[in-house]
Structure 1
Amino acid sequence: MTLGAAITPEGIRFAVWSSSARRLRVSLFDGTGARELDRLELNPEGEGVHALLVPGLGDGTRYGFRADGDYAPERGLWFDPNKLLSDPYAVEVDRPYQYHWRLAAKRSEGADTASLMPKAIARSPLKPVPAKPPLFQPGGLIYELNVRSFTRLHPDVPEAERGTVAALAHPAVVEHLMHLGVSAVELMPVTASIDERHLPPLGLSNAWGYNPVTFMALDRRLAPGGLKELRDTVAALRNAGIATILDLVFNHTGESDRLGPTLSLRGLDALAYYRHQEDGRLVNDTGTGNTVACDHPVMREMVLDTLRHFVRFAGVDGFRFDLAPVLGRIDGAFEPEAPLLQAIAGDPLLADRALIAEPWDIGPNGYQLGNFRPPYLEWNDRYRDDVRRFWRGDTGAIGSLATRLAGSSDVFGREGRPTTRTVNFIAAHDGMTLADIVAYERKHNEANGEQNRDGHNDNLSWNNGAEGETDEEAIARARFADQCALLATLFASRGTIMLTAGDEFGRTQKGNNNAYAQDNAVTWLDWTGRDRALEQYASSLASLRRVFPALADTHFLAGEPADGADIPDVAWLTETGAPLGDTDWNDPGRHRLVMLLGDTEGNRLAVVINGDRRQCVFTLPARDGFEWRPAIETQPVDLARPLPGRSVNFMIERRAAKSRSGKGS
């Protein structure tokens, strides 16, 4: 079935789905969206579809829907003809959504909401993007970014473009991404969203966009040029060899709980589009007040249509799914083989795209890390936590660190699978920044207006320099070293890695670990004040990852030679160069480790990790005719001298230089 506003030679065919509305109408508006011109009855066409062809209408027509039926919120029925409703299939809206209390008013209060609601705009579809294989492949570097905060303060981007999707195509931005070796940008939500109702009274607004209303229409603040702006930016990034992944939210909408606004799905058919308990209350597996019923056939098709829309008309390379277990819940229980998850992975247009799951929600059995099926990659919070624990200095962390470096086979190697589906990250949009992890032991969310009650309490962070240190330069050096160690660990890890924008140059949110409501300098990246030395180090790590592909390989490390190789893919060594034995692995105080990687060409790379605060001399095993050299030019390493504490060093084995006589020098 074709839903939405389809422009035809005869006019526009409006179609919307509702299984329980008694009456559905389309409201037509003038070119400004301010004046309602007409309300026309839609005709039932069977199977819940209501439609009408209106002659004489064309591209640019502004409209909305109205639904009538029983009003009984306690039974999941919210029909109210005074509520103008956004088309769930709208491809464009004429302005941003803004919260107003009248949007949540009861039907008996009788206030019409047309003046408060954005209007959907009917558009002739763009010509489809020529089909091309996606650029992104597992093992690459994903760069997570918030479109608005990323370029809001960028001095090289024209002021009119700052904070928009178009800014991502600016040469200065593209150059930065290429310098960092980015494989794909992952755009935090760019679809039309609304502020949570408690934010406006606090003078705050949602800076992240994880509160959607319409799934296909883009937020005009982020993409004033609409779908074409996204399409052009995707093309520009692709020309630079960079893929685009969209972070999409299908687990809930901005209509929130029973006190929330009626904007679209709730007013059309809340019982079908949202999951309810037996007593009629909304299920809240998301922590936002409602949960989308992704097991409903109509909702399932809407998700698929949305994904196809962005591939077909914008050419995106993949998707990240927020709170992804919701997409796989059937009657409330998560099923890895759920119809929607299978349909996405098996769709001819979507099957080759990057598919990334955030594998948890807050519902029953909501933590599903490792339980999705290929080809889904998964955000790996076990990686995040274990790496942080190691560098915080927790005891007994060496074995967990090695497992995470090797691709997390304990999580993703089930049923004998040979490759990892991990997305390794140390910091993300949700939580402390990389710089704040090493500077704040506790969160500081006071600016969010919730008395510091929001956000995670257990951040596995530390304040390097808090133990009686008063020398600000010494503290800064220690924190810089810790950031370098965290970055080096990330780039040395098997599988896909993810870096959040600005962490490569020391962005800080002053300890705020839930900055969703901070559309201001707290989240806007400070391009002029960035730490150039840290940025250059991150770039060097990216170069090393390209030079030595074994770092990014997705096959699990086995400690055996790969096919055609004469050296093992990995050896785990102590600082003396001896293999780690059971005693070493079980030593709770051990914080030193060498990961010795070998590739099919016979090359070896040593990742030398000193998590102790004390210096230490490391010895690497020698081979006749080879010598160990620093793998990063800006990181001189002399194995004859002690390596500093809390550091990661890289040594690559090269053939020894020969003297003129032909003998080894």
Structure 2
Amino acid sequence: MGDSDLRVWPGHPWPLGATWDGRGVNFALFSERAERVQLCLFDDQGRETRVDLPEYTDEVWHGYLPDAAPGQVYGYRVYGPHAPERGLWFNPHKLLIDPYARALVGRLDWAGPHFCFQLGHPRADLSFCTRDNAATMLKCQVVEPGAGRGTFRPPRHAWHTTILYEMHVRGFTMRHPEVHESYRGTLAGLSAPAVIDYLRGLGITAVELLPVHAFLDDRHLVVKGLRNYWGYNPIGFFAPHPAYLATGQLREFRAFVRTMHDAGIEVILDVVYNHTGEGNHMGPMLSFRGIDNASYYRLVPGNERYYMDSSGCGNTLNFRHHRVVQLVMDSLRYWVEEMGVDGFRFDLASAMAREAGHFDREAGFLDAARQDPVLCRVKMIAEPWDVGDGGYQLGNFPAGWAEWNDRYRDTVRSFWRGDPGQVPDLATRITGSSDVFARRGRKPWASVNFVTAHDGFTLADLVSYDRKHNEANGEGNRDGTDDNRSWNHGVEGPTPDNAISQLRLRQRVNMLATLLLSQGVPMLLAGDEFGHSQQGNNNPYCQDNPITWLDWERIGTDGRRLTRLVSWLIRLRRDHIVWRRDRFLKGEPVPGTDIVDAQWINPDGRERQVSDWENGETRFIGLLLRGAAGFYYVTPTGEPRPDESFLLCMNSGVAPLTCRLPVLPDTGHWLPLLDSADGPVLSAAPVQGDGTPYRMAGRSLVLFRRTLPRAGDGGDARPRPTDPARERR
């Protein structure tokens, strides 16, 4: 420790971070209010050498070390005033992580003195801690840049053809028998042939990974023997989470992306830029707080000791500061250009678009992202809310963005639970939520539809529990939402009652089919397709154990059948544009024809009238999609042809009912493809004529396809997915 005789040159203020140029390393760190910055270098034995960065240009401290190289471990110590009441927390006794670090090494030991104040002091956060934390602190590592640039071949699936699959890097493979033990829980594990074959067979087009940016296990969780499993506690926006790299090398992430691309699958990252793991004024000093707290975070005006918190995690990044916007934009471009990812889902995105405390669709970050030549080519998905006042902003993000649609989730759950008055809203949700998104030229794909996600019950638990069961989280079952819109069907949790089990299975089929036959972009939660349960825990953010790990060896017959059905529904959606059209359905005749693009049908086979929509007790809805109404696909010979017609009927009532199949002005018939009352298998029922009564069970969904005679043999000449009879076998 102490001053160094290493050669130090002035270097450059850009790019920020540690940049190897083939001869030496340039170090650059933004801090508007610092008075001195020391670069701390560590050798293989952990010995520290300190070097003052010699230059300060445009609020950036910088220096160039011609003797440094990739692999060098480093951190910073930043000097300045310690005045918490003014939002200034400088403390050079604390080693800090470079916000632009491409890799982190070591581990954070919470037994170390990582708070800049004295724990237990009567006025704790106003005190000053002089204990050094370097020995127990995470550290940064210089990496060689550009190894992956220009070598990715992204599939670039159009939005309206996209099927999202939300998954966790660790939980997906921790119990996978065909993934080598040394690779389980890592990106190398997700690259295993068995995983790729499964994803391709399922038919999804994009994996959406829960956070892979470097994150922390919260101190209060570690004390209780728990982990921050989900990863929504970031400390580095450029570095992959070290535990997800089996090899410890960045090339593992790039290899994973290339493997997915080769399989035709895009990689979407769930990113958390709204807050950091440093928490509120009683949190640790690990990076941003010690570098320039007043620039990086939103502070309470007039009482800057405290943080404005619209994330619910203690702090919120200050997107009114240009350096914060630059940090996030640089991070996003890095993951696209050098790591090859295809898009992002932004956690609590409303927090990133707050100007003067309020959401603004023209906020600096949103404007920057919209015009960026790199980001305009990738998928951008907003979680359109935060926990602050006015934070719920579904439908208010700019054109070009897609948004998680929680109204879709709530309506589908409520309808299939049998709640009254859901039919009108369900009709809007399954046709793309035009009431929310049909403005400013936005398309149905702006709605990311989901019934379940990482946050909440799995699909199996949604039909098995009336109440959350989060006791394992150690918070007295107070955490997690109570508004689950779930139903246990008579028994809480597992049951030997076969009738209840089969009804639960039917309800899972109902909701999966509804999701995959809705306009918009469907998102599946990994494991829902075969029945993964979290034992009723609807907030397992801290459960890094079999509660959250997918159990591949206990899927069972019903799980395998349901998986095959999900795969078939995905192929049906892929092969028929009526289920994924790029324009909103209007229920009006297509210009130049008398064919209506979508019709709502009553059980008697007739079109619904205004009085039918006003009946809050009805629990039946039928949707007729006419393939000739402007829905075209291109044949292998390049000839455009109209798509087929389909009828989707849903009955969420307890009682069975008879529905008459609508009469169409052609010579076709109705072929039942799927009846959820039969379980997760496809129907092999005979063709039905127009006006024929069809008996629907209570709480069931039936899908029909219109068959047209083939010249000469009465067959069906139009393309379709796999033969239903074969699929049943």
TM-score (norm 2): 0.87
Find the partner of 1:612 among 641, 653, 668.
653
Find the partner of 1:391 among 394, 416, 419.
416
Q: Which amino acid aligns with 1:361?
A: D
Q: Distance in 2 between matches of 1:173 and 1:180?
A: 11
For residue 567 of structure 1, report the CA deviation from its aligned partner.
2.8
Q: Which amino acid aligns with 1:331?
A: A
Q: Which amino acid aligns with 2:134?
A: A
For residue 259 of structure 1, report the CA deviation from its aligned partner.
1.3
The residue number in structure 1 matching 2:82 is 71
2:434 paired with 1:413: no
Q: Which amino acid aligns with 2:601?
A: L
For residue 12 of structure 1, report the CA deviation from its aligned partner.
1.4
For residue 419 of structure 1, report the CA deviation from its aligned partner.
4.1
Could you tell me which runs of 5 or more consecutive residues in structure 1 were left unpaired when the two chains were aligned.
none
2:665 paired with 1:642: no
Q: Which amino acid aligns with 1:630?
A: P
Find the partner of 1:547 among 570, 575, 583.
575
Which secondary structure does the structure 2 equivalent of 1:6 belong to?
A: strand
2:102 paired with 1:91: yes
Q: Which amino acid aligns with 1:91?
A: R
The residue number in structure 1 matching 2:673 is 631
2:556 paired with 1:515: no
Q: Which amino acid aligns with 2:142?
A: A
Q: Flag the 1:541–1:52 CA change in 2: closer, same or farther, 3 A.
A: same
Q: Distance in 1 between matches of 2:669 and 2:282?
A: 69
The residue number in structure 1 matching 2:140 is 120
What is the identity percentage for the equivalent residue pairs of Structure 1 and Structure 2?
43
The question of whether the paired residues in 2 share the 8 Å contact of 1:618 and 1:643 is answered with yes
The residue number in structure 2 matching 1:574 is 602
Kindly report which structure 2 residues correspond to 1:141-540, keeping only aligned pairs within 5 A, or say none: 141-225=163-247, 226-278=249-301, 279-280=303-304, 281-415=306-440, 417=442, 419-466=444-491, 472-530=497-555, 531-540=559-568
Cα offsets for 1:31-65 (capped at 9, x unmatched): 35x221x1011123322100111121111100001
The question of whether the paired residues in 2 share the 8 Å contact of 1:98 and 1:195 is answered with no
Cα offsets for 1:623-654 (capped at 9, x unmatched): 33211113357234566541222111111101
Q: Distance in 1 between matches of 2:85 and 2:714?
A: 92
Q: Flag the 1:52–1:485 CA change in 2: closer, same or farther, 3 A.
A: same
416-425 or 259-268: which moved more? Answer: 416-425
Which secondary structure does the structure 1 equivalent of 2:381 belong to?
A: strand
Cα offsets for 1:575-607 (capped at 9, x unmatched): 111011112111111111111112331521111
Q: Distance in 2 between matches of 1:60 and 1:81?
A: 24
Q: Which amino acid aligns with 2:668?
A: F
Q: Flag the 1:132–1:482 CA change in 2: closer, same or farther, 3 A.
A: same
Q: Distance in 1 between matches of 2:516 and 2:493?
A: 32
Q: Flag the 1:233–1:420 CA change in 2: closer, same or farther, 3 A.
A: closer
The question of whether the paired residues in 2 share the 8 Å contact of 1:455 and 1:513 is answered with yes
Q: Distance in 2 between matches of 1:628 and 1:485?
A: 20
Which secondary structure does the structure 1 equivalent of 2:416 belong to?
A: helix
Cα offsets for 1:262-300 (capped at 9, x unmatched): 110010001000000111111111000000012210010
Find the partner of 1:35 among 36, 47, 57.
47
Which secondary structure does the structure 2 equivalent of 1:66 belong to?
A: strand
Q: Flag the 1:427–1:567 CA change in 2: closer, same or farther, 3 A.
A: same
Q: Distance in 1 between matches of 2:279 and 2:42?
A: 27
Could you tell me which runs of 5 or more consecutive residues in structure 2 were left unpaired when the two chains were aligned.
1-13, 118-126, 632-641, 675-680, 716-729
Q: Flag the 1:471–1:236 CA change in 2: closer, same or farther, 3 A.
A: closer
Q: Distance in 2 between matches of 1:48 and 1:617?
A: 73
Q: Distance in 1 between matches of 2:320 and 2:116?
A: 29
The question of whether the paired residues in 1 share the 8 Å contact of 2:495 and 2:501 is answered with no
Q: Distance in 2 between matches of 1:252 and 1:356?
A: 18
Q: Distance in 2 between matches of 1:468 and 1:341?
A: 44
For residue 114 of structure 1, report the CA deviation from its aligned partner.
0.7
2:26 paired with 1:5: no
Q: Flag the 1:387–1:96 CA change in 2: closer, same or farther, 3 A.
A: farther
80-89 or 217-226: which moved more? Answer: 217-226
15-24 or 42-51: which moved more? Answer: 42-51
Q: Distance in 2 between matches of 1:363 and 1:101?
A: 33
Q: Distance in 1 between matches of 2:682 and 2:495?
A: 29
For residue 134 of structure 1, report the CA deviation from its aligned partner.
5.4
Q: Distance in 2 between matches of 1:186 and 1:260?
A: 30
Q: Flag the 1:295–1:62 CA change in 2: closer, same or farther, 3 A.
A: same
Find the partner of 2:157 among 116, 123, 136.
136
Q: Distance in 1 between matches of 2:193 and 2:530?
A: 19
Q: Flag the 1:270–1:585 CA change in 2: closer, same or farther, 3 A.
A: same
Q: Flag the 1:91–1:224 CA change in 2: closer, same or farther, 3 A.
A: farther
Q: Which amino acid aligns with 1:126?
A: G
The question of whether the paired residues in 2 share the 8 Å contact of 1:413 and 1:420 is answered with no
TM-score (norm 1): 0.96
Q: Flag the 1:469–1:98 CA change in 2: closer, same or farther, 3 A.
A: closer
Q: Flag the 1:243–1:96 CA change in 2: closer, same or farther, 3 A.
A: farther
Q: Which amino acid aligns with 1:524?
A: W
2:36 paired with 1:51: no
For residue 98 of structure 1, report the CA deviation from its aligned partner.
4.6
Which secondary structure does the structure 1 equivalent of 2:671 belong to?
A: strand
The question of whether the paired residues in 2 share the 8 Å contact of 1:192 and 1:214 is answered with yes
For residue 469 of structure 1, report the CA deviation from its aligned partner.
12
The question of whether the paired residues in 1 share the 8 Å contact of 2:182 and 2:246 is answered with no
Q: Flag the 1:321–1:478 CA change in 2: closer, same or farther, 3 A.
A: same
Q: Which amino acid aligns with 1:609?
A: M
The residue number in structure 1 matching 2:709 is 656
Cα offsets for 1:157-208 (capped at 9, x unmatched): 1111111112222111111111221010001101110012210111101100
For residue 151 of structure 1, report the CA deviation from its aligned partner.
0.7
Which secondary structure does the structure 1 equivalent of 2:114 belong to?
A: helix
Q: Which amino acid aligns with 2:58?
A: E
The question of whether the paired residues in 2 share the 8 Å contact of 1:22 and 1:69 is answered with yes
Q: Which amino acid aligns with 1:271?
A: A
The question of whether the paired residues in 2 share the 8 Å contact of 1:129 and 1:314 is answered with no
Q: Distance in 1 between matches of 2:187 and 2:334?
A: 17
234-243 or 99-108: which moved more? Answer: 99-108
Find the partner of 1:560 among 588, 609, 615.
588
Q: Flag the 1:23–1:602 CA change in 2: closer, same or farther, 3 A.
A: closer
Q: Distance in 1 between matches of 2:93 and 2:309?
A: 27
For residue 102 of structure 1, report the CA deviation from its aligned partner.
1.7
Q: Distance in 1 between matches of 2:365 and 2:52?
A: 33
Q: Distance in 1 between matches of 2:528 and 2:420?
A: 26
Which secondary structure does the structure 1 equivalent of 2:310 belong to?
A: coil
Q: Which amino acid aligns with 1:458?
A: D
For residue 117 of structure 1, report the CA deviation from its aligned partner.
1.2
| Equivalenced residues, count | 660
Which secondary structure does the structure 1 equivalent of 2:203 belong to?
A: coil
296-305 or 161-170: which moved more? Answer: 161-170
The question of whether the paired residues in 2 share the 8 Å contact of 1:153 and 1:524 is answered with yes
Q: Distance in 2 between matches of 1:154 and 1:195?
A: 24
Q: Which amino acid aligns with 1:35?
A: R
Q: Which amino acid aligns with 2:325?
A: R
Q: Distance in 1 between matches of 2:164 and 2:495?
A: 37
The question of whether the paired residues in 2 share the 8 Å contact of 1:133 and 1:352 is answered with no
